[in-house]
Structure 1
Amino acid sequence: MSEELDAIDVRILDLIQEDASLSVAEIADKVGLSSSPCWRRIKRLEEIGVVTKRVTILDRAALGLDFEVMASVKLALPNRENLEKFEAAVATWPEVVDCATVTGAVDYMIRVVTTDMHAYDGFLRDKLLGQGLVSDVQSRIVIRVAKRTTSVPLGLSQGKRR
């Protein structure tokens, strides 16, 4: 659906992607609206598919899940059937927090989160290579994250139609 977003919509989106726990009254106050029109705008943003989900971001280190790997995955035979099988398998693996089809020498980039090197080795052997679909995996252990955000850069889309 093609919908134009105005400055108030963009401000609401900025606020809720920064802190989804804000009440409608708090958001309304920050954007200069009363609660009812603000609530209607938020509902409209949900209905048109701009807001798809609201989540809580957890501290992985506090949960003992601070071992992260970026892996490039090449399928043995990247045909439609194998791509679909691989993606269906990935969807069931909780360790994979991101999976994207990419261009170039590999078929996928995945981000894997787990407890330690031994857990990653088990994931690699039992799940990733255990499917018989993968011909090559290049794993890169994340040492330090310089930037990570869940925020969409709204300033880049202002004035554009969806």
Structure 2
Amino acid sequence: MSDLIDELDARILDLIQADASLSVADLAERVGLSPSPCWRRIKRLEDLGVITKRVTVLDAEKLGLGFEVYVSVKLSLPSRTNLEAFEGRLEHWPEVVSCQTVTGHEDYMLRVMTRDMHAYDDFLRDKLLASDLVSGVESRIIMRSVRQTTAVPISLVVENHTTAPLPKVVGK
């Protein structure tokens, strides 16, 4: 078990990841606590930075943003100044929904969402390739999303330190 969380914390985190709208009373009931101790655990996890925020997951396709691309980006010169400059530009590009620095030939991996191929082409030409910092781009269009989650696999934290898996918490 992680030094930060115990089995009850893990169960709370699993439930919150599945449905952040659950009330403290509902969470407490599902993990076998009263509301006050459950709230204190949640507050502690927030204070520790384990819980960083709570969000609502939207259906991008229903909103007309179903065109998704993974983009490998190579900078012309990957200096500290250029890395910081490129990362600063990303803040103004709403199409970029995630960005990671990566090892290998490329410097970044972006996940880009747009309305369609034409909107992606506009983004590519007018923003990404218009940057003098970028020397190469490789796009991979997502044909179909097979599995996608925002959940952190809490069970991996627990599995490494206990002999038995956590009991499944059944919803109402």
TM-score normalised by structure 2 residue count: 0.89
Residue in 1 aligned with 2:164? none
SS at match of 2:73: strand
Residue ranges of structure 2 left out of the alignment (5+ in a row)? 162-172
- Write out aligned runs for 1:9-48 (5 A): 9-48=9-48
- Write out aligned runs for 1:2-151 (5 A): 3-151=3-151
Map Cα deviations across residues 105-154 of structure 1 (whole Å, 9 max, x no partner).
10000000000011001100111111211011001110001111000011
SS at match of 1:63: coil
TM-score normalised by structure 1 residue count: 0.95
Map Cα deviations across residues 60-86 of structure 1 (whole Å, 9 max, x no partner).
011000000011000011111100000
Residue in 1 aligned with 2:168? none
SS at match of 1:100: strand
- Could you tell me how far apart the structure 2 residues matched to 1:3 and 1:44 are? 13
SS at match of 1:56: coil
Residue in 2 aligned with 1:155? 155
Amino acid at match of 1:142: I
SS at match of 1:157: helix
1:155 offset after TM fit, Å? 1.4
Amino acid at match of 2:146: A
Map Cα deviations across residues 88-112 of structure 1 (whole Å, 9 max, x no partner).
1112211001100000010000000
SS at match of 2:58: coil
Query: How many equivalent pairs are there?
Result: 159
Paired-residue identity, %: 64
Amino acid at match of 1:77: L
What value does the CA root-mean-square deviation take over the aligned residues?
1.2
Residue ranges of structure 1 left out of the alignment (5+ in a row)? none
Amino acid at match of 1:54: R
Amino acid at match of 2:90: V
